[in-house]
Structure 1
Amino acid sequence: MQTERLILRPLAESDIDDIWQYQRLDEVLRYIPWPKRDFEAAAAHTRWRAAAHSLDADGRAIFLACVLAPSPDAGEHAGRVIGDVMLRLSSVETAELEIGWVFHPDFHGRGYATEAAAAMQRLAFDGIGAHRLVAHLDPRNEASARVCAKLGLAHEGTLRESYYDKGEWSDAGLYAMIARDWRALEDTPAPHTP
């Protein structure tokens, strides 16, 4: 898939070095329930995620690399994997999918996560026929909460101290959208700008 500034393609083993650049950072791991890994363990994790490429059963997932498309703004970073996005099938029976994203901090605050997640949202509802799309995130991750809001995912609640990670109990925020909300959002005309 191609968005305005990104190419979204299946994660590949050749992405290990680029993904290591953000997967190793405490700043990134703070809000993701991934352990701190050395390079070899991180490479194995990327290989495992690259091998996940179907949504044909509960728990299956797809991971797409977010590659900067060539442009004057991308400059020397064109072709680099700056993040990745995920869709995981929570339930075939209820057509519920989970969405997730992670990006290198050097590219935060530029709308890339929203751009990539919006493409995955469209895939979930228009391509796969999801009934419900959910995002689970640490409520302290205000940037991801803003992405959810921009996508139109409603904050449905917070599970207090629902998981233990990196030596502390953490809350889990639940954000979601159902197909009816997606269709209404798609049917809303864009605001007129003079």
Structure 2
Amino acid sequence: MALYPEYPLISDRLRLRPFTRGDVDAVYTYRSRDDVARYLFDVALSREECALAVQQRIGQVALEKDGDKIILAVELLSTGSLIGEVSLTWHSADARQGEIGWIFNPDYQGEGYATEAARALLDLAFGPGDIHRVSARCDVRNGSSWRLMERLGMRREAHFREHAIFKGEWDQEFVYAILRREWLSR
């Protein structure tokens, strides 16, 4: 089953919407930061790299086949400020497996925005998306990310130790997941 959501997705304080070309400067404000890039596969991005990333995200708004992604800009309803992004990747249509992720501007951390945005995306995944299981992963040192996974009701399923070289050193990674029935019964 494919997923073609109607946008925007609205929560109490946030609007999740497809990216536009006009988002480059807002994305650059957080993707250019070393503290944001620390746990990402990317390094801090230049403005030109942000423009390319935004251009790629513009078309990532539906799930049709394995590997497809929905990547949405997260903006405050009160001001229209773009504060981050959330993603949903379809790993297996047959097994109905997905993965969620997020990147937020640290200037807006500690306000519950990432939790609210991730909940809206999980509602999409487990509602109209009919996904069976959604996972998330992060570097073990990224406490704010794995604590968010726990706030979402996800369970830690794996702790990979020294499983890959990440930015020149051995990586440790947590994997969390939640099943559709668990999400719907919360």
- In structure 2, the residue matched to 1:123 is 124
State the 1:42 CA deviation.
Answer: 2.1
Bigger Rg, structure 1 or 2? 1
Deviates more, 1:146-155 or 1:47-56: 47-56
Percent identical among aligned pairs is: 38
Of 49, 62, 72, the residue aligned with 1:54 is 62
Give the distance between the partners of 2:74 and 2:151, measured in 1 at CA: 19
Equivalent residues in 2 for 1:11-50, closer than 5 Å: 11-50=19-58
- In structure 2, the residue matched to 1:9 is 17
Q: Which amino acid aligns with 1:178?
A: L
Q: Which amino acid aligns with 1:25?
A: R
Higher helix share: 1
Q: Does the 8 Å CA contact 2:158/2:176 hold for their aligned counterparts?
A: yes
Q: Does the 8 Å CA contact 2:63/2:70 hold for their aligned counterparts?
A: yes
State the 1:148 CA deviation.
Answer: 0.6
State the 1:182 CA deviation.
Answer: 1.6
1:127 is paired with a residue whose SS is coil
Give the distance between the partners of 2:35 and 2:44, measured in 1 at CA: 11
- In structure 2, the residue matched to 1:188 is none
Q: Does the 8 Å CA contact 1:88/1:97 hold for their aligned counterparts?
A: yes
State the 1:90 CA deviation.
Answer: 0.6
> Runs (4+) of structure 1 moved beyond 4 Å?
none
TM-score (norm 2): 0.92
- In structure 1, the residue matched to 2:148 is 147
Question: 5+ residue gaps in structure 1?
Answer: 71-77, 186-194
How many residues are matched?
A: 178
Pair 58,176 (structure 1): closer, same or farther in 2 beyond 3 Å = same
Deviates more, 1:109-118 or 1:8-17: 8-17
* CA shift digits 1:145-179 (9 cap, x unpaired): 11111110000011112232222221121000012
Q: Which amino acid aligns with 1:46?
A: V
Q: Does the 8 Å CA contact 2:28/2:45 hold for their aligned counterparts?
A: no
Of 69, 72, 82, the residue aligned with 1:64 is 72
Q: Which amino acid aligns with 2:50?
A: A
Equivalent residues in 2 for 1:104-183, closer than 5 Å: 104-183=105-184
- The root-mean-square deviation of aligned C-alpha atoms, in Å, is 1.1
